[in-house]
Homo-oligomer: A and B are copies of this chain.
Amino acid sequence: MAGSKGSKYYDIFLKYSLWLCTNEEKGIIDENIINLLKSIKKTGSLKSAADEIKISYRKAWGNIKDSENHLNFKLVEKQRGGKDGGHSTLTQDAETLINAFNELNAEFNTAINKITKKFFNKINN
């Protein structure tokens, strides 16, 4: 889809989203959590990360907790107290998931492009 000019389907595009979950549909690792994790890695704290991606600290904290509970392993190593009040870092598992997610997205992007090209010829005009 999204192809030859003049077709009524010209400006329609195919999109997708990916997520990881445990068997019972639970423990979803979606783009939101991935972005949160990336921001934690970048900023060094859950709080700054929540601020950066503009969600409440309460929610950020709750989401991570939920994911960890469903996955049965930790994603974030959190430290309370200290000079700056505390800080957080990602576990190796979280890094693994981020990399996997990134690579999967890249692969899918390629796939989507191929599929799209193949289709718009058939659909339009």
Chain A interface residues (CB < 8 Å from chain B): 1, 8-9, 11-23, 27, 71-73, 93, 96, 100, 103-104, 107-108, 111-112, 114-115, 118-119, 123
Interchain CB contact under 8 A, B8 and A20: no
Interchain CB contact under 8 A, B73 and A8: yes
A14 to B112, CA, bound (A): 16
In this complex, what residue of B is CB-closest to A71?
B12
Interchain CB contact (< 8 A) of A111 among B15, B20, B21, B111? B111
Chain B residues, Cβ within 8 Å of A100: 1, 119, 123
A112 to B107, CA, bound (A): 9
A100 to B123, CA, bound (A): 7
